Amino acid sequence: MLATPLLAPIDPRLTLASLIGEDGAMATVLLVEDDPRIRSAIALALEREGYATVGAVSGEEGIAKIGKVPIDIALVDLTLPGMDGLQACAEIRAISSIPIIIVTARQESDDVVAGLEAGADDYVTKPFVVKELAARIRALLRRAVSSAPDRHHLGELTLIPAEGALRHADGSEVHCTFTEFRLLSELVAHRGEVLSREHLLEHVWGYDYFGDSRIVDVHIRRLRTKVEPDAANPELIITVRGMGYKLEGP
Amino acid sequence: MSEAEETQVKRRQYIASLRSRILAAFIIGAVLFALLMSSISYFTVRHFLITERQATVLRQAFTDAALMRSSINQGDASIRDQISAFDEVDGVHAFLLVGQKRYRSNPSASLSTIPLAMRKLVRQGNAATQTFLVKGEPTLGVGLRIASAQASFFISFSVADIARTLRALLLALIGVSVLLISGAAFAGLRAARRAVRPLAQVGEAASAIASGDLSARLAHSDDRDLAALTDSFNAMASELETRIVRDAAFNSNVAHELRSPLTTLSATVEILQGSSEQLSSEGREALELLSGDLNRFRKLIADLLELAADDERSGIRLEAVNAAQLVRKASEANLQQLDAELVIAEDLNERMMLADKRRVERIFANLIGNASSHADGLLSIEAKCLGDDFMEIAFIDRGPAIALQDRARIFDRFYRGSASGRRADSQGSGLGLALVSEHVAVHGGSVRLSIDARGGNCFTVMLPLEGVLPS
């Protein structure tokens, strides 16, 4: 479960709705990056791509901004002075469901998995092309596919796509990030089928076949802690060796 | 194989292993020791038994000779009585020669059994003893001159019992020697094993380090001789670990320090490109040069860091994937603008492989890129099963064929080939094919270059396959 929020959680769907609204209002990207030159350059380039940006030089400042300004997505550099990027991710995740993209210098390192475990939704490797970053942001801000308005029962939980919510039998809501919700919706849409990691990467994150499947694995692990009665012995989201994942039928 | 390696192999064939040398030393030592100790025991016992028997026999012979002398004085019948008394003792024959007369203890006894030389000595007045064989039995003979009667007295005793004793002793000694030598061989085997064990441990630790376990160390030994070896080995391993960790930290720092400004550069160039219509024509040309070389620089840094990662075997993420699908996706990701044919054999559809997808995609990207920058483009990509365990992917380009002198070094880092084969617009870092070779090696495969029948170059990549697709 999430820790008691330091700040009142902002309902992320409000800002998301404003983003995807008919008027096409700009989404706001929080840039947590200590190097002012990189921050300015990325801010300029992202603004050209149609995003508003809010800069923060440290994790602490970034978290403070989330409380004050409407933010749709956060870009967090892993090497920060003071509170490091991993900790910043974990704290942002504790108060908000917004997508987080981490920026790492080494794709090969364990930083990526550590960042995903800390709550990040995706990562980019320096030096990245801003067009690619913009594509990643667009993919993470897509609304969950909610073609079917009906309710889906997942053990004790109920997924209500129309509300974008996952609820306990007693009506209380299980907190999911956007990405977790989209991942769960994708599994529900293909209930009983085995979905390959590549399929999930493409449909949830917008990657091609060569995306990093660690992203899927970490998210599935996290989702299990929320929907499975016993995450160590999953009964709903099953791993099919060498093939992918499957949501058990009703 | 170099000359030095060849001589080393040759020498290894001639020199037995340390273990067999230790074993041989133990066995040779035991054989020499057994031989020496057995000979000493055998000959001492033999000497002792024979001299003892000789003394006894001699004493007996003198007594008998005295009896014979008195019989001679009493006449012929008394001699016969006296001499036939010897017949009652087993293995004893007596002869008496008085003038031309010969007496013997029993009719079967023959004087010819007494050697002539001995008979001659006695006739000349000497006392003599000698060992000789009678019907194959070792016999001790004594001859005495009875001077007062002008007579020669000979008595022979069989010493077959001594021979039997000595034979038994010899057998016992041989038995003991055999036991001793086998004991030595056993001890030698154990000693050899014990002597080699620390070396085997050094070998294990060294190969553990070579395969990436930098923390592998030898247990400290209380043996002074071994302690010198283990301590210096461990010191070396620690030094190596420190250096490698420092190098890795350096690489990671360099990576970070280079990547950060590159991020700024590429973001700002993107902004400029977005508003290039506002620039003068010189400005646009300059921007094009800048962005071209910036891309090249980004690619170079990325390639260098990938090579470093391959060298450290770090960040390799093997996952089970369908072989045919991997080839198709990797080709499609890189073939968009190229007019090349993709042929995937049907038997690959059912095959799985353990692959780092991203690295395989880089292999395709670099080989396809190489075909368009160093040849007239790619002709085809042909993938098929090679036996049960390998997949072969051939990248065939339209030529011209790479010069013979360049082919051997084409996979070397920063090797760009002779000027004739090089395009003016080449954007390569000189690392592309080196990366192909490293990425292929990471998968346990290989890559080679040959000339295609149609005149182009054929890069053949072999990658290991796993079992059949689970249904």
* Cβ distance of A41 and B262 shorter than 8 Å: no
- pLDDT of A138 > 50? The answer is yes
Domains of chain A from N-terminus onward: 12-141 (3.40.50.2300), 152-247 (1.10.10.10)
* Cβ distance of A109 and B252 shorter than 8 Å: yes
Instruction: Say what the pLDDT of residue B471 is.
Output: 43
pLDDT tens digit sequence for B67-103: 888 888 888 888 888 888 887 777 888 898 888 888 8
Question: What own/partner pairs with CB < 8 Å and gap ≥ 24 does A227-231 have?
Answer: A227/A154, A227/A155, A227/A157, A227/A166, A227/A174, A227/A184, A228/A155, A229/A155, A229/A156
pLDDT tens digit sequence for A157-211: 888 877 777 888 787 888 888 899 889 989 988 989 999 999 999 999 999 888 8
For chain A, say whether B319 makes contact (Cβ under 8 Å): yes
Q: What is the rounded CA–CA span in Å between residue B375 and residue B377? A: 5
Size of interface A-B (CB pairs under 8 A): 90
Element (H, E) at B394: strand B390-397
Element (H, E) at A217: helix A214-227
pLDDT tens digit sequence for B277-307: 898 999 999 999 999 889 888 888 888 878 8
Looking at CA atoms only, how far is residue A5 from chain B in angstroms? 33
Chain B residue at shortest CA distance from A37:
B264
In chain A, what residues touch B358 (CB-CB under 8 Å)?
A: 210, 212
- pLDDT of A4 > 70? The answer is no
* Cβ distance of B256 and A105 shorter than 8 Å: yes
Q: ipTM of this model?
A: 0.78
Mean pLDDT on A109-133:
89
| CATH (residue range B10-210) | 3.30.450.20
A209, A212, A217, A220: CA torsion to nearest 10: -70
* Cβ distance of B255 and A106 shorter than 8 Å: yes
Find the radius of gyration of the CA atoms of chain A. Answer: 18
pLDDT tens digit sequence for B317-376: 888 888 999 999 999 888 876 678 899 999 999 888 999 998 999 999 999 988 888 888
Q: Which of B256, B259, B352 sits opposite A242 (nearest CB)?
A: B352
For chain A, say whether B202 makes contact (Cβ under 8 Å): no
SS3 state at A53: strand
Q: Where are the domains of chain B?
A: 10-210, 224-311, 319-464
In chain B, what residues touch A38 (CB-CB under 8 Å)?
A: 260, 263-264, 267
Chain B residue at shortest CA distance from A112:
B315
Q: Which of B263, B305, B309 sits opposite A128 (nearest CB)?
A: B263
For chain B, say whether A24 makes contact (Cβ under 8 Å): no
Task: Considering only residues B121 and B199, tell me which one the structure prediction assigns the higher pLDDT.
Answer: B121
Q: Which of A35, A130, A241 sits opposite B260 (nearest CB)?
A: A35
Query: Which residues, listed in sequence order, are joined to residue A73 by a DSSP beta bridge?
Result: A29
pLDDT tens digit sequence for A25-73: 589 999 999 999 999 999 999 998 899 999 999 999 999 999 899 999 9
pLDDT tens digit sequence for A230-239: 888 898 999 9
Report which listed range, A105-114, A143-152, B24-33, is most confident: B24-33
For chain A, say whether B268 makes contact (Cβ under 8 Å): yes
Chain B residue at shortest CA distance from A131:
B270
Q: What is the CATH topology of the domain spanning B224-311?
A: Helix Hairpins (1.10.287)
* Cβ distance of B358 and A210 shorter than 8 Å: yes
In chain B, what residues touch A216 (CB-CB under 8 Å)?
A: none
- pLDDT of A147 > 70? The answer is no
Which superfamily does CATH assign the domain made up of B319-464 to?
Answer: Histidine kinase-like ATPase, C-terminal domain (3.30.565.10)
